[in-house]
Amino acid sequence: MAGNSSERLEELQYKREQARLGGGLKRQEAIRSSGRGTARDRIALLLDEGSFLEIDSFVTHRSTDNGMFLHNTLGDGVVAGHGTIKGRRVYCFAQDFSVHGGSMGEMHAKKIAKIIEMAERVKAPIIGMWDGGGQRAHDGISALAGTGELLDRLVQCSGRVPMISLVLGPVVGVSALAASLADFTILGEEHGQLFLSSPLETPEVLEGEIDAAGLGGANLHASRSGIACLIADDEDDACSLAAEILSYLPDHNMAEPPLEESTDPANRLNSDLETLVPENPNKPYDMVKVVEEIVDDGIFVELFEAYADNIIIGFARLEGKTIGVVGNQPKVLAGCLDIDASIKAARFIRTCDSFNIPLVTFEDVPGFLPGVVQEWGGIIRHGAKLLFAYAEATVPKLTLVTRKAYGGAYLAMSCKHLQSDYNIAWPTAELAVMGAEGAVNVIHRAEIGKAPDDQKEATRQRLIAEYKAKFGDPYVAARNGWLDDVIEPSESRLRLCRALNILQSKREWSPPKKHGNIPL
């Protein structure tokens, strides 16, 4: 009996070693020599040392077609389990490129789906490391069936537990869809690639017009498609970025975000903000500097920095509490809202609302970007997404108007009329239907037209001055209660910290419904 037990233990150890070898030492070394890590290398980088507990290491595929019975690899090309990051529980998985090129067969997909389902049950975040060539052709429709189950689990988890994707190699086909369903998708600069259609099937690649990196590389997805929220220098950096994002997020949608003690006093004055906004209303400045001056320790983790950079989004803290920052960027397109900016901000607002993260909006917006491209591209529908997201959000909403707040863009940027909780402005703020020059050209067109030619410009300038005197300050809105206060710029941090403190207990009730119908 003892001998039999010893043999069983030896068999277990042998199988575990086989599972650790994945597609074999030769393939693993080839992966390492290309500058990438193996699945287990990556999990070791991500998690606290010794915390990983693997699940389903003995799973194998069930296909007998196409000679697959000769390639029964334990684990079926993905390493999955749970562990901790700085003591916080997470579920994670990493595709193993050494096994069938990381392709997703039926059991491979089911194994990831199982991990995601477990994470949803215990309310713990999910981090997926993607590196694989799409669905496994050898498995046929079974691969798609397993992938369908995986996609369903990802959608069910959305908004319930945080999901982060690290794309550290080429990810093709429906696997790219799965990776992009995460709340945050981080791509490795050198090797991270996402394609819905394989480069081998893309005419522009076949004809040599662009290469694979130009079709779906990290920088492309950071600047053009808006899929990559951050670009990692290497795999170590990717894991650090994932841990940093996670530090701002709660474990699940019923929990509060982590509180991180800060020595930055809440009553710190922001004297630098007194002179930051130029006197010339058409002169740009950097809204990121405004944010960094106000938030704890000047730390602002900006997301999607290269995409739709006329708006900024990201995470920061006020008195140790996580906040989601949304701000117009006056130095790009004068801070106008366009299609990409509206989509970028709306998605982030809904993410923050899902995970109980208060929203702080820094507003300087002259309007929606005019033009045929925007109108034909559906700026009406896409702009409505931003307005919808703000109106739908039930987390504390705070807004600081630094300069311009014009027209429909003023309404879309967390105005008081959309149930924003605390709206303040600097004395430099202008809240109006449009700028003084545009308004005068519309309102007084006839009067200007009747003036003698040599007096037309003088008449126009006089009317502009009159309009500015009447509407070119924040006090009209303040008199109507649409601003809660007009403050000195140096008090910005103090006021926002105090408001956030009182709003922590905010609870908002809305009539039961299945869900709203956001204009997608």
pLDDT of residue 415: 94
Specify the residue for token string 């807004």. Answer: 399
Q: What is the pLDDT of residue 290?
A: 97
Contact 486, 423 (CB under 8 A): no
Q: Give every CB contact of residue 369 below 8 A, 6+ residues apart in sequence.
A: 310, 333, 336, 337, 338, 379
Q: Could you tell me which of 399, 416, 389, 395 has the C-alpha nearest to residue 363?
A: 399
Q: What does the pLDDT read at residue 266?
A: 95
Matching CATH number, 271-429+473-503, of 3.40.640.10, 3.90.226.10, 3.30.56.10, 3.20.20.140: 3.90.226.10
Q: Look up residue 84 and give its two tokens.
A: 């901790």
The Cβ-side half-sphere exposure at 43, using a 13 Å CA radius, reads 25
Averaged pLDDT for residues 153-165? 96
**CA pair distance 118, 100, nearest whole angstrom:** 26
Mean pLDDT of 338-355: 97
Q: Please report which confidence band the pLDDT of residue 461 belongs to, taking 50, 70 and 90 as the band edges.
A: confident
Q: What is the pLDDT of residue 69?
A: 54
Question: Is the pLDDT at 16 greater than 70, yes or no?
Answer: yes
Confidence of residue 319 (pLDDT cuts 50, 70, 90): very high
Per-residue model confidence (pLDDT) at position 435: 73
**Whole-number mean pLDDT of the chain?**
90
Q: What is the pLDDT of residues 399-445, one digit of tens each?
A: 999 999 998 999 999 999 999 999 999 999 989 887 777 777 778 77
Contact 385, 346 (CB under 8 A): yes
Rg (CA), the chain: 27
Question: Cβ–Cβ contacts within 10 Å for residue 504, how many?
Answer: 10
Residue 466 has pLDDT above 70, yes or no: yes
User: How is 480-505 classified by DSSP, letter by letter?
Assistant: TTSSSEE--GGGHHHHHHHHHHHHTT
**DSSP character string of 375-430:** HHHTHHHHHHHHHHHHHH--S-EEEEEEEEEEHHHHHHTT-GGGT-SEEEE-TT-E
3: confidence class by pLDDT, cuts 50, 70, 90: low
How confident is residue 41, by pLDDT bands cut at 50, 70 and 90? very high
Render pLDDT for 211-255 as a digit per residue (tens, 0 to 9).
888 888 899 999 999 999 999 999 999 999 999 999 999 999 999
Residues of the chain with CATH 3.90.226.10: 2-246, 271-429+473-503
d(CA 20, CA 13): 11
Instruction: Decide if 517 contacts 387 (C-beta within 8 A).
Output: no
Q: Say which CATH architecture domain 2-246 belongs to.
A: Alpha-Beta Complex (3.90)
CA distance 222 to 186: 9
Structure tokens at 157: 């988890």
Q: For residues 166 and 241, give the distance between their C-alpha atoms in angstroms, rounded to a whole number.
A: 10
Distances (CA, A) of 491 to 2, 228, 291, 514: 76, 35, 13, 42
**pLDDT band, residue 352 (cuts 50/70/90):** very high
Tell me the pLDDT tens digit for each residue of 93-150.
999 888 877 788 888 999 999 999 999 999 999 999 999 877 776 677 888 888 999 9
Share of the chain above pLDDT 90, in %: 65
CA 282 – CA 111 distance, rounded (Å): 56
Which amino acid type is present at position 329?
Q
Q: Is the Cβ–Cβ distance between 40 and 79 less than 8 Å?
A: yes
pLDDT tens digit sequence for 477-515: 999 999 999 999 999 999 999 999 999 999 888 888 888
Q: Residues 168, 224: contact at Cβ < 8 Å?
A: no
Identity of the residue numbered 181: L
Flag whether pLDDT at 206 surpasses 80: no
The model's pLDDT over 42-98, given as tens digits with 9 standing for 90+, comes to 999 999 999 999 998 888 766 666 655 556 678 788 999 999 999 999 999 999 888
